[in-house]
Amino acid sequence: MKDTREQHIPVVIVGGGQAGLSVAYCLKQKGVESIVFERHHRFHSWRVNRWDSFCLVTPNWQCRLPDFHYDREYGGTDPDGFMLRGEITDYLDAFCAMSQPDLREGVEVTRVAPSAEGFTVETSIGKWTCDQVVIATGGYDTPIEPPYAKNLSPEIVQMHSVDYRRPEQLPEGGVLIVGTGQSGVQLMEDFVRAGRPVSLAVGPAPRSPRKYRGRDATDWLYDAGHYDITIDTHPDPVKALTQTNHYMSGRDGGKEIDLRQFHVDHGVELYGSLADMAGTEVRFLPDLAKNLDDADRSYVGIRTQIDAFIAREGIDAPAPPPFVKVWEPEQERTDLNLAEAGITSVLWAIGFRPDYSWIEADAFDARGKPVFDRGVTDHPGLYFIGLGWLNTWGSGRFLGIEEDSRHLADQIVERQRVLQI
C-alpha cells in the first residue's frame, strides 16, 4: 500500500548500488542518518543486467569498498583473479550485510526538487523531505541504439547488451556485434567460443595490455601512481572524460584482446564503425585501419609508460616481447548485405546514457550532464557519486569508491553542521 505520509530525514541517497551504499556506510560511521531508495533490488545492474559469463576486467584486489576490501575484511583468496558475476554479487551482499544501511528496495524516486526544508523527494511509497540528496544511480539508465536501427529489416533480430545473457538467445547464423568497448569485445569472444560466425563493427575504443613484464598491467600502473591522477591534474581532461574504457578481459585468469589476432585465429570479420542500415543492407565507415591503429597506439603507450616506471625504479623485470601487428586490412569493405552474409542478428554494445530528467535543480550543463567538483554540485546539498572521473580513474569503479564516498560524507557532515547552527 502506498504510504502518503510526508517524512523527513537528513540525507536521501538515490540508488542502491555499491556507490550509494558506500556513502550510506560512511555517513553512518559519522552519525548522520540516511535512507537509500533503490527502484529494483540492491546491486540490480550486477545481478540482472550482465551476461552469464561476465567477469571483472580489473583484478579482485581493486575491490575496495569502505572498510571492506576484497583481500582484507572480506577475506577473498584470489586477489589477482577476476570475480565472476555471482562472486561479485556475493561480495556486494556481504558488504551490505556488514554495513546494514537503511535500504528501501523496490522504491522508485520520481522527483527530486528544492524545497524550504532542503529537498522534496517524491517516491512510489510517498513523499519525503530531506536536507541533502546524493544521486548514486550511475550512468546506465537508457541503452543506446542509433536512430537508423529502426530501418533494419525485421528479419534481422536486434538486441542490446543489457538484455544479452548467452549466445543461444539469438537465432542460428552469424551475429554482427556493434561496438568494441569492454562489453563488445567480450561478447565477441562469447560467440567465438560458441562456434558462431562473428562480424564486428570496430569503433574507436582503445586497448590495454593484460600481463606485461611479469605482472598485470594494472598492478604496474597502480604502483606507478597512474590511478592517483585526478581529473583536475590530468594532462588531457577532455579525453579522459570522453574516451571509452580500454578493452581487455578477465576471462581465463585475464587476457589481452587483440582484434587482429581474433580475425587471424577465429575468422572474426572486422569492419569499420557502423554508419547506417536499411533493410538488410548496412554501411560502415572506412575507418577500420585507423581504429585498429589507434587502439594499438594506446596499447603500446601503456607498455611504454610501464617500461619507463621499471627503468626509473631500477626494477628487475622480464624483457618485454616485441609488439607485432599480426594482420592489416588490405581493403576496407564499407557495404554489407546481412542476409547474403548469413548474419541473422545484430547485438548492440555501444553503451548507455543517463536520465536525470527527474531532478529539478540547476546542476546540469546544456547537454544535461551533471556539473560538480568531486561530486559536489553548485546547488547546496546535492551530490553525485559513482560516475567516471568523479575525481580519479577509479571513481566509476570499485577502486575509487572508498575515497569518493568518504570525501562526500565529509562534505555532507560539514553542511549538516552548518544547517544546525
To 10 degrees, what angle do helices 85-99 and 18-29 make?
A: 20
- β-pair partners for 270: 200
| pLDDT reading at 387 higher than 80 | yes
* 20 vs 76: CA distance, rounded Å: 23
C-beta contacts of 182-185 below 8 A and 24+ residues apart: 182/57, 182/245, 182/246, 182/247, 182/248, 183/349, 184/247, 184/349, 184/350, 185/247, 185/249, 185/257, 185/259
Question: Using one digit for the tens of pLDDT, what is the confidence trace for 144-195?
Answer: 999 999 999 999 999 999 999 999 999 999 999 999 999 999 999 999 999 9
Q: CB within 8 A of 142, min separation 6: which ones?
A: 352, 353, 354, 355
- β-pair partners for 116: none
Average pLDDT, integer, range 335-350: 98
C-alpha cell at 254: 585475464
- The pLDDT assigned to 244 comes to 87
Would you call 128 helix, strand, or coil by DSSP?
strand
* 126 vs 107: CA distance, rounded Å: 10
Count of CB atoms within 10 A of residue 242's CB? 10
The reply to whether 146-348 shares the fold of 7-141+354-420 is: yes
* 110 vs 267: CA distance, rounded Å: 48
Closest CA to 291 of 173, 184, 391, 379: 184
How deeply is 164 buried, as exposed, middle or buried, from its count of CB atoms within 10 A (0-12, 13-18, 19+)?
Answer: buried
Strands (E), 191-251: 198-201, 211-212, 215-216
- The pLDDT assigned to 210 comes to 97
C-beta contacts of 238-242 below 8 A and 24+ residues apart: 240/389, 240/393, 241/388, 241/389
- The pLDDT assigned to 2 comes to 45
pLDDT band at 141 (very low <50, low <70, confident <90, very high): confident
Beta pairing, strands 7-14 & 34-38: parallel
Secondary-structure class of domain 146-348 per CATH: alpha beta
- The pLDDT assigned to 5 comes to 54
| pLDDT reading at 217 higher than 70 | yes
* 9 vs 32: CA distance, rounded Å: 10
pLDDT band at 421 (very low <50, low <70, confident <90, very high): confident
Phi and psi at 27, nearest 5°, equal -65, -40
DSSP state of 187: H
* 253 vs 329: CA distance, rounded Å: 30
Give ∠ CA 243-378-235 in degrees, rounded to 5: 30
pLDDT band at 1 (very low <50, low <70, confident <90, very high): very low
Average pLDDT, integer, range 292-316: 98
Tell me how far the alpha carbon of residue 416 is from its chain's centroid.
31
Asked whether 216 and 59 are in contact (CB, 8 A), the reply is: yes
At 24, the amino acid letter reads A
Average pLDDT, integer, range 235-248: 91
- The pLDDT assigned to 420 comes to 85
Closest CA to 101 of 9, 178, 192, 169: 9
Domain range summary for the chain, segments of one domain joined by +: 7-141+354-420, 146-348
Question: Using one digit for the tens of pLDDT, what is the confidence trace for 143-153?
Answer: 999 999 999 99
Q: How far is CA 257 from CA 129, 188, 311, in A?
A: 49, 10, 26
pLDDT band at 117 (very low <50, low <70, confident <90, very high): confident
> How many residues are recorded in the chain?
421
Helical ranges in 123-247 per DSSP H: 182-193, 217-223, 237-242
* 360 vs 400: CA distance, rounded Å: 28
State the residue for C-alpha cell 594499438.
296
| CATH domain 7-141+354-420 topology | FAD/NAD(P)-binding domain (3.50.50)
